[in-house]
Chains A and B, each alone.
Chain A
């Protein structure tokens, strides 16, 4: 397999996951805003590191809606949902011979649907329906990959890309939201706001999962544990880094070589696997998450270096 193929599949996984995460995050944050009328716009902005941009727009009389549009359908924003789906599609298009018809067609039809919607009247565009559609179809594309693709290197690179993106996304949500809700880092400060913490879980679609696991009222420490350490929660940081490690090992077995990327993937996985939530809070959640996110970024660079993707 060519390095360029590996690269395309890796980024297809990342972009598709990014679009899906962004869609879910906007939906959860909006839902929260509708229920609590808090500083909704700032909350959304913080998730994407866009507080300054938002302040500027607000000074010019802008509203939350324009921020959402920037995140959903602005083609000049490389991280917008539309840009991400477009990028994933062009990655897939270059590798049509290396992915299955099912994967290609489901991704392409999502892209076609988005293009049609965006060509129409923007004022009457149903943003909710668009976000819903992205969420649903991204699940179908990943599902198509899972049930139709040959389990070879191409599949491994797709998986590594998707899980690295997803793990980083969950870590970022937890980091930002925890800081917003508990600026002093103390999870026991006062009675947790039900709506605020259920929104944090909703960002990774885990409100009902939380109930299943803990069967108790929402508690910030447990929310953090679920999002970080629970291996059986498919969007937890631990689960994602476990999957990254697993796919890296399969690649190492196939190639018969190992490098810095393998070491780092194994180390990150082990760190999440053996961590305890009370110890994490002792040293500080923000510090722990900062370290994990830095290393995820480094891992992405090392993967590029090791497999000649750059």
Chain B
């Protein structure tokens, strides 16, 4: 697998260094292995000292771990980025149009493009979110779109994340670490900065307040410090200068949301929530939730508080809706998709099901609502017994699975054990939608540290890299 993959640094039959990577390649050639070993130790110290940790669900040994950070950056040329940026803006705009439609008139169903059941029977559909006129018509304010590359010009969207995508704190912290560890690289290579993400995020959040208050009060709602992404919640709140609240810090009175402060109740206009839909409001959703705020949905429906991202966004990003996104783009925007989907078989279709069961050993099979790299089968790297067991699962609930060809994800040089070796990577850019759409150049590059592995999720032993988009007009980078 690995030898067939497109290597972003040493692509092509000749194995020559691609232009955007020239600066990095020079640096690698100049840097001694001892220096690298010392640097890697420093990185781990930095992350631990700053408390940048990730508590993977189900981890029994030690609650907090750091996500391995690889110091060789992943480089994207300006024109490549411009192409991706156009595609991302288009895709997220269409997803937002779809969400507004799905919770509104459902014209896309009447046009016969998406069956109504796909929306209404979806486990992620939130009936109570229907008929709301959200500010700017935006539902997916923060979207993380997972992209993979398989060739010089071939990018695919692997999945859309429009519920509560996480990982952006690593984009910002990885850059801080790189600037600290290898300042000489930044002097030689024109890398576009990412530090204004928090400023853009705050502007986005403020722009979707129902109230026309010039300075709407925005808070970040976290499930608390046991959550695996708690570091990110605290980080973003701090960067934006907004309060980091738990459900118990908020209450609803006369249809308005307030936070408890020593000076008395203070009104809240926008809630950037990192709590799942089910837990947001015990009156409306799960009654046993202690993480939410009673009456929150009432306040939302009354147009007194906006909740970001909107409720019920899961109907747009599960793996079966995914197959419809190109059609959404044509329907809502009248454009051809810039970014392609990975060809996908839906096991609830008889023909597809038959094909998938016969070709399990070649395919990647995923749960429709799965995330975090769990509940999936990577055919080519699985044993016969594993494949047989998985076939049983698919037969039992075909509608719960989709399958895709095993893509040869591109590789980037990565430090492993004794030296540098290619490892598979993906990319999650973060798209902000408020009154306008903004994307900070780059995103989170995740890398599968195990040789040949295609699973990049941090909960499955993946690491991260700093992602560099080169400034316009610079192709060589060095």
Contacts and interface: CB of A to CB of B under 8 A. Distances in A.
Interface of A: 30-31, 33-37, 64, 128, 194-195, 198, 208, 210-218
A39 to B, nearest CB: 13
Main secondary structure of the interface of A (DSSP, over half): helix
B195 interface: yes
B348 to A, nearest CB: 48
Q: Nearest 8 A-B pairs (CB), nearest first?
A: A211-B241, A34-B186, A35-B193, A212-B241, A194-B196, A34-B179, A215-B241, A208-B238
A36 B193 contact: yes
A211 B193 contact: no
B315 to A, nearest CB: 33
B362 interface: no
B203 interface: yes
B406 to A, nearest CB: 39
A216 B215 CA distance: 8
Nearest to A35: B193
Interface residues of B, number: 22
A205 to B, nearest CB: 13
Interface of B: 179-180, 183, 186-187, 190-191, 193, 195-196, 198-199, 202-203, 215, 218, 238-242, 471
Given A31-B179, A128-B180, A215-B215, A210 B186 contact: no
Contacts of B471: 37
A34 B187 contact: yes
Main secondary structure of the interface of B (DSSP, over half): helix
A216 B242 CA distance: 10
Given A194-B196, A211-B202, A217-B202, 10 more contacts: A35-B186, A35-B191, A35-B195, A37-B471, A195-B196, A211-B242, A214-B241, A215-B240, A216-B215, A217-B203
A218 B202 CA distance: 12
A155 to B, nearest CB: 31
B212 to A, nearest CB: 16
B193 A195 contact: yes
7 contacts: A35-B179, A208-B241, A211-B198, A211-B239, A211-B241, A215-B241, A216-B202
Contacts of B203: 217
Contact of B241 (A33, A35, A37, A210): A210
Nearest to B187: A34
Contacts of A217: 199, 202-203
Contacts of A64: 187
A36 B183 CA distance: 13
Contacts of B202: 211, 215-217
B203 to A, nearest CB: 6
A34 B183 contact: yes
Contact of B199 (A212, A213, A218): A218
In this complex, which of B179, B203, B239 has the most chain A Cβ atoms within 10 angstroms of its Cβ?
A: B179
Given A30-B183, A215-B215, A208 B195 contact: no
